[in-house]
Structure 1
Amino acid sequence: MDKFTTITGIAAPMPLVNIDTDMIIPKQFLKTIKRSGLGVNLFDEMRYDDNGNEIADFVLNKPAYREAQILVAGDNFGCGSSREHAPWALLDFGIRCVIAPSFADIFFNNCFKNGILPIALPQEQVDILMKDAEKGENARITVDLEAQTVTTSDGQSFGFDVDAFKKHCLLNGLDDIGLTMEKAAAIDSFEAKAAADRPWV
């Protein structure tokens, strides 16, 4: 998993509430167990028409937001089913941070496990960031995980809370496998001792 320290990037405004995981990645794309390749189908039903053509006025199809790394959204982002494909699709598109007033719990935790930083901020601060994001590609928002701040293109800064353990994992690029591998020496020692103590097992 890639480390998350600081990003300064384009933020895409998506002022919708209750964006559920089926909107993020529809059920027909859940057949794969690969984390790559889902970005093209991110928000598929809002992004493409019935013939597979891009819908020009959807935010991520606009030239200014095709390289967005941050998504500013409405309340209760990631609700619905617990599919981990949702953060996979966001990450594969290039989204590393989602900012919203609130998140569904399972989606929120799945983000951290996949290298995405979900930030919950008060509605009035999200509104300011939404307006800043609407300025387009010249308005870059900075997210600093170490300092726990989000800064608008004109320098207005907001602090955010994050669990210390989740912060450690993101800063060091540690998913569940990475955390286990940090204990590789202790695991090897235990297995060697167990094999010596009980060679018949």
Structure 2
Amino acid sequence: MEKFTTLHGIAAPLPLINVDTDMIIPKQFLKTIKREGLGVNLFDEMRYDDDGNEIPGFVLNQPAYRDAEILIAGDNFGCGSSREHAPWAIKDFGIRCIVAPSFADIFYNNCFKNGILPIALPQEQVDKLMADAEKGANARMTVDLERQEITTSEGEVIAFEVDAFRKHCLMEGLDDIGLTMEKSAAIDSYESRAAQSRPWV
């Protein structure tokens, strides 16, 4: 998993509440188990019309936000079904951080497992970041995970909280497999001892 330390990039404003996982990646795109290639269908029903043409008014179709790496969203982001394809699509598009007043629990947990930093902040602070994001591509934000700070394009610093273990995993690029592999020496030692003490197994 790609490490997350400091992110300096464009923030896209998505001031919608209750954005569910079917809005993030519609069910017809869940046939794959690959994490790559889903970004083109992120927010598919909002990004494209029935003929597959881009809808110009949708934020990620606008020139200023096509390369967004941060998403400023509304309350209860990621609700609905537990599909892990939702963070896969977000990550594949290029978004590494989502800021919202609240997240659905399963989606929130899945973000950390896929190298995405979800940040929950009070509505007042989200509103400030939303207004900053609406300035366009020149208004770049910085997300510093080590310091647990977001810096707006105008230099205002907003602190955020994150679980220490999840922070460690993101900064070291450790998903569940990576965490297991950290214990590979202990696992090998156990298997060696077990083979000697129970050779019939």
TM-score class, shorter? over 0.9
State yes or no: 1:6 paired with 2:10. Answer: no
Matches within 5 A, 1:112-191: 112-191=112-191
Partner of 2:194 in structure 1? Answer: 194
Given residue 82 of structure 2, which amino acid in structure 1 is its aligned partner?
Answer: S
Matches within 5 A, 1:65-144: 65-144=65-144
Given residue 136 of structure 2, which amino acid in structure 1 is its aligned partner?
Answer: G
**Structure 1 residue runs of 4 or more that deviate by more than 6 Å after TM superposition:** none
CA RMSD of aligned residues (A): 0.4
Where 1:9 maps in the other structure, the secondary structure is strand
Q: What do residues 152-185 of structure 1 show as CA deviations (whole Å, max 9, x unaligned)?
A: 0001111111000000000000000000000000
Gaps in structure 2 of 5+ consecutive residues:
none
Partner of 1:43 in structure 2? Answer: 43
Where 1:99 maps in the other structure, the secondary structure is strand
So what's the TM-score if we normalise by structure 2? 0.99
How many residues are aligned here? 201
Distance in 2 separating the partners of 1:26 and 1:152: 32
Q: What do residues 93-143 of structure 1 show as CA deviations (whole Å, max 9, x unaligned)?
A: 000000000000000000000000000001011001001000000000110
Q: CA deviation at 1:200?
A: 0.6
Q: CA deviation at 1:147?
A: 0.3
Distance in 2 separating the partners of 1:181 and 1:114: 17
So what's the TM-score if we normalise by structure 1? 0.99
Q: What do residues 42-99 of structure 1 show as CA deviations (whole Å, max 9, x unaligned)?
A: 0000000000000011000000000000000000000000000000000000000000
Distance in 1 separating the partners of 2:186 and 2:34: 30
Q: CA deviation at 1:150?
A: 0.7
Gaps in structure 1 of 5+ consecutive residues:
none
